[in-house]
Amino acid sequence: MSLSVHLRDLSLRYGETTALDGLSLELAGGKVYGLLGRNGSGKTSLLSVLAARRRASAGTVLVDGEDPFENTRIMRRTCFIRDEVDAYEQTSVRQALRFAARLRPHWDEDYAHHLVDTFKLPVKKKVSALSRGMKSALGITLGLACRAPLTIFDESYLGMDAPSRYAFYDELLSDYAENPRTIILSTHLIEEVNSLFEEIVILDNGRLVLHEEVDTLRARGVSVTGPAEVVDRFTAGLTVLGEQRLGNTKAVTVYERFDDARRRAARAAGLELGAVPVQDLFVHLTRQPEAQR
C-alpha cells in the first residue's frame, strides 16, 4: 500500500516566478524520502503538485501511474501535512479528528487516540487556542493516523519542542515499519532527521540537484586529516568543501567517493579518514555554482 512518483520535465510557474524548472524524478513506492532544499528552492511547490493543491504548468506528474490532479483515487490516498494545520480554527481538536475520520478511508481511530496521548493534545480545546507546537502536533496526528499510501510532511514540526519532535520521529518509524507506505519529509533539520531517510532528494532553484540513497550520499563526504603537506598532496584535484589547520596538522573535507584503493592509499600515507555530516554536504551542494556539481 504505497504509491510511486514519476516526474518528467515538471515545471510550475506563478506569474513571472518559476518555482519548478524541468524537474525529472523517480520515487519508488514504500520508502522514506528526505526532501531538502534552501528556502525558495521549490520543495513546497513540488509537494503541492503531488498533493493536487496546484496543477503543474508543464510536464508529466504521475502518482501510482496517474495524474494526481482532481484524481479521486489518488487524492484520497495522498495526505499532505503542511507547516499550517488544515483544520477549522473554531472547531475543537476532537472535532478536527472526527472530520478527518469521515473523509480518510484508511483512518485508524485507535492510532489517532494513541497519538493524542503521545503528544498530549487537549482534545476539547479549539484549534485556534492551540500553541504553535500543538498545532503542529495536531497536523502530525492527522498525517500519521490517516495512513495514506503517500504521506507528505512539509516542515510539519514547526514550533514543536525537541522531545515532541523525537516522539514524532519514533512514531513515524514504528508506524512505517508496521504499515509501509511512501513518506516524503521536507525539512531543514537535516542532522536531526536524516537517519529516518532511505533516500535524499535535494532541490535548488526548482531543479534537481541530487537524488541518492542516504548511505551513498554519506559515503561521498570524507574528512582527511594528517600532516598538512601530505593532506594537500593527497587531496589535490578533489572537490574540497572546507579545511581547518592546527599547527602542522590539517583537516580537509572533500566531496568525493573514496573506493577501497584510495582509502588504503590514504592510510598508507598516514592520513585519517572520517565521515562528514549530511548537512555539510547539503550546504556545499546548494552553495556551489551548478557548473561545479
Partner 1 sequence: MTSHHTTQDSPVSDGPASDGRGRTVAALLWAGHLRLLLIFWAIVVVIFVALGVGQAAFGQLDRSLWEIAGLGAAKYFPFALAIMITPLNLSVYVAHGVTRREFFTGAALFAGLLGLVFAVAFTLGFAVEHLAYTAAGLPEGFTGPHLFTSGGQVHLVLVEAVLTFTAHIASGWLIGSGYYRFGGWLGTLFLVPALVPALGTDVLLGTGWFRAVGTAVGLGQLAMPAGIALSVLLIAAAVAANQPLTRSVAIRRGPTTGQTQWIFP
CB of 111 to partner 1, least distance (A): 8
16 CB-near residues (< 8 Å, 6+ apart): none
- Length of the chain equals 293
Q: Do 194 and 200 touch, CB atoms closer than 8 A?
A: yes
CB of 59 to partner 1, least distance (A): 16
Which of 52, 140, 252, 281 binds partner 1 (CB under 8 A)? It is 52
Q: Which stretch in 79-87, 182-190, 227-235, 259-267 sits in contact with partner 1 by CB under 8 A?
A: 79-87
41 CB-near residues (< 8 Å, 6+ apart): 203, 204, 205, 206, 286
CB of 84 to partner 1, least distance (A): 6
Instruction: For residue 161, give the nearest of 127, 133, 120, 198 by alpha carbon.
Output: 133
| CA neighbours closer than 13 Å in the CB half-sphere of residue 243 | 18
Complex with partner 1: residue 64 or 199, whichever CB lies closer: 64
Does 17 participate in binding partner 1 (rule CB under 8 A)?
A: no
Q: Which stretch in 23-31, 51-59, 198-206, 234-242 sits in contact with partner 1 by CB under 8 A?
A: 51-59
Does 67 participate in binding partner 1 (rule CB under 8 A)?
A: no
Instruction: For residue 41, give the nearest of 143, 153, 139, 154 by alpha carbon.
Output: 154
Strands 199-204 and 182-186 turn out to be: unpaired
In the beta sheet, which residues pair with residue 62?
6
Q: Which stretch in 89-97, 194-202, 213-221, 268-276 sits in contact with partner 1 by CB under 8 A?
A: 89-97
Does 87 participate in binding partner 1 (rule CB under 8 A)?
A: yes
H/E segment holding residue 178:
helix 162-178
Which of 6, 13, 38, 53 binds partner 1 (CB under 8 A)? It is 53
Which of 50, 97, 193, 224 binds partner 1 (CB under 8 A)? It is 97
Does 262 participate in binding partner 1 (rule CB under 8 A)?
A: no
Does 110 participate in binding partner 1 (rule CB under 8 A)?
A: yes
Q: State the chain's maximal CA–CA distance in angstroms.
A: 68
Q: Cell 592509499 belongs to which residue?
A: 265
Which of 98, 114, 207, 218 binds partner 1 (CB under 8 A)? It is 98
99 CB-near residues (< 8 Å, 6+ apart): 87, 88, 91
Does 99 participate in binding partner 1 (rule CB under 8 A)?
A: yes
Q: Which stretch in 145-153, 165-173, 220-228, 231-239 sits in contact with partner 1 by CB under 8 A?
A: 145-153
CB of 100 to partner 1, least distance (A): 6
Residues lying near partner 1 in the complex (CB under 8 A) are found at 48, 52-55, 69-73, 75-80, 82, 84, 86-91, 94, 97-113, 123, 128, 146-148
